[in-house]
Amino acid sequence: MRLAHEDKKGRFIALITIFVCFFLIFGIRLINVQVINGDKYASKVASSSSSTTIKATRGQILDRNGVVLVGNRQGNDIIFNASSFPGTKEQAERNKIILSLVNLFEKNGEEWINELPITLDANGNYQFIEGRDKDISKLKSRDMLHLNKYATADDCMNEIIEKYSLSEYKKQEILKIASVCINMKANVFNTANPYTFAQDVSDSLVSAIKENSTFYRGVDVQISTYREYTDGTIAAHILGITGAIDAEEYAVLKEKGYAMDDIVGKSGIEKAFEENLKGKNGIKTVKTNSDGTQETIIEGLKNGDNIVLTIDANLQKVAQDALKKTCESIGTANAGGGAVVVMDCNTGEILAIASYPSYDLTTYFDDYEKLAKNTNSPLYNRALLSTYAPGSTAKVSTAIACLEEGIVDPSSTKYCAYDYNFLGHHFVCQIAHENRTINVRTALQDSCNSFFYYFGGEKLGIDKMNMYREMLGLGQPTGIELNENVGVLDSPSYRTSINQTWMPGFSLQSSIGQAGNLFTPLQLCNYTATIANGGTRYSAHIVKSILSADNSVSVLEKEPEVVCNTGFDEKNVNTVHQGMRLVVTNGSCRNNFGKLDVAVACKTGTSQVEKTINGSKNVYTNGFNISFAPYGSPELSVAVAIEGARSGSSCAPVACDVYNYYFENKTSSEPSDTEDDSYSEGTVDSDLLF
């Protein structure tokens, strides 16, 4: 018994000791907080802070002379803040606010974000909107309504009505509320991620919402920046558009600090240089001190860089207008469209690049449905993405290859009898060449097929021909910073890759720009520049430099990049130049380029293509014109391609307008029309003909 009593006494003493130690530690801590560091902790209690994300301003896009092509302006966004907006347990209240907002917007003729792919048909039944397959699939997905793939529009709406308590509303009202609720879910609406209900809202509508802020609880105004265009028609395909980030983009970009309500580049320069233009969002912290004063701290904010293009805005407009005028004057609208590319021969800089038909960036989203349905594809960038059989413009490459390989020299001739037979197959030349003896210069002047069939197709052969075309950049990437089509350089290996057999006659066809060769207008322009400057192929580029947001720091200065030094003999280059000059002085383009103050050298081409329009097949002749100027001291190369143009010379007016503007406004005092006296306007040495 005594042992048990002593054991209880020991445990009691231990318990008392623990309590004493606990209160001793607590007391020391209390003294530290209230006495020793009292002022410090009192200050912390009396002060508070709040942090919000501050969006970086997107960088500008300028032309080579500093003209702003794409800038920014401020606008109002209407957003829902989850911290004060009715929660999911208050769905009835949510529905009232949403419907009231939608009606307010529609009453004032303003748009709100409606992405629900369901509408009502003429009989008042729910139906999916045509062309919205991707959105419909997403709506049925596990993350959204979790329905079978074969679910109907009625199935989707029944699920939505039940999920969001919409049974008491009319069908039109249900669609309005459902659109917002579904979009909120898709955009993961929560306290860290506000939902954008509408963008670029008028000040008057903002005031109406603020006046009813008690009812519209959680509905706030956010100041955002919007793209602004000096002229929305200038280089629309090149500049590109921006838009709200989608789920796929967000999945990739969230690791780079993007939020679900960010704006991103969707095409053109806006997309290609998204990382530079976007900048980095910052954190704005507003700290309220114990004395009531506020302190604002912004950390991590970096506004987007400015992109300076090689394009001259004025020359770009001239090129666009000339292309449009020429396409419409020759009636190509029914056949398709066209493109023009203008390049600095000695740097690879693109000074102008246009595609027709085009569109206005300012009204892009309003016009999108009409643009998308247009059978002439105005949204398609023909200069970079369309590939064409180049026709006789390819004969320039055949000529330089034959000269370089010693197959011909300036005095080599071929008798043209119109008919050309090869291995029992019948080929033809142009009727105008019948019973004439042609040399390499006049073969280019008159575009003689027989000359190139023989020296190019038979004597040179496809392998050597293509070796030179590769050096000249045909069927090769140009290096431009935007998405481009590489085209096709026809060859035995290419035919094998598409399960076809290379036939001997293909070499003859290829020598005159037919067979399966397909090149872009940009490739044709770069190829022409390489011929013009004597054989140096530069990487084509459209970005001149990248500057910091305040233009104080150069992030990138693009220098000319040599892709290939062909090493062409100067005599051979001059011979080809002379042949191209004859096209202007004695050939098909004398009525166009012959009237200019600057001396131009060029080559025309045509190729036929079959196109189905409204169910009927039609055969169109596409026209091409490649040129450079001044002859004797080249600065510019120009390539024009027009679908349905019927002849290469009919494309020349586009280049004429480009040369007129460029050389009339050229600041250099150097003469721009230096040329060999033997090739002055309207004259030519007789010994060059025979």
The reported pLDDT for the residue numbered 299 is 85
Contact 222, 284 (CB under 8 A): no
Whether 283 and 320 share a structural domain: no
Whether 292 and 320 share a structural domain: no
Residue 157 in domain: no
Low-confidence ranges of the chain (pLDDT < 50): 1-4, 45-46, 333, 668-690
The reported pLDDT for the residue numbered 277 is 97
How far is C-alpha 334 from the geometric centre of its chain's CA atoms? 25
Residue 208 in domain: no
Q: Please tell me the total count of domains within the chain.
A: 2
* pLDDT tens-digit readout, 625-653: 999 999 999 999 999 999 999 899 999 99
Whether 532 and 570 share a structural domain: yes
Residue 456 in domain: yes
Whether 237 and 382 share a structural domain: no
In this structure, the chain runs to a length of 690
Residue 152 in domain: no
The reported pLDDT for the residue numbered 184 is 93
Whether 568 and 586 share a structural domain: yes
Q: What φ, ψ does residue 277 adopt, rounded to 5°?
A: -70, -35
Give the position of tokens 């960010």: 262
Residue 327 in domain: yes
Residue 357 in domain: yes
**What is the Cα–Cα distance from 137 to 125, expressed in whole angstroms?**
20
Residue 613 in domain: yes
**Domain housing 317:** 313-688
Amino acid letter for position 626: I
Which residue from 667, 605, 672 is spatially nearest to 636, judged by alpha carbons?
672
Peptide bond into 357 cis (omega under 30): yes
- Tell me the pTM: 0.84
Whether 479 and 504 share a structural domain: yes
**What is the Cα–Cα distance from 339 to 485, expressed in whole angstroms?**
14
Q: What φ, ψ does residue 618 adopt, rounded to 5°?
A: -130, 145
Which CATH number does the domain housing residue 527 bear? 3.40.710.10
Among 305, 328, 344, the domain-final residue is 305
CA-CA-CA-CA dihedral for 557, 560, 563, 564, to nearest 10: -160
Whether 290 and 333 share a structural domain: no
DSSP 239-283: H--EEE--HHHHHHHGGGT--TT-EEE-SHHHHHTHHHHH-B-EE
Whether 270 and 414 share a structural domain: no
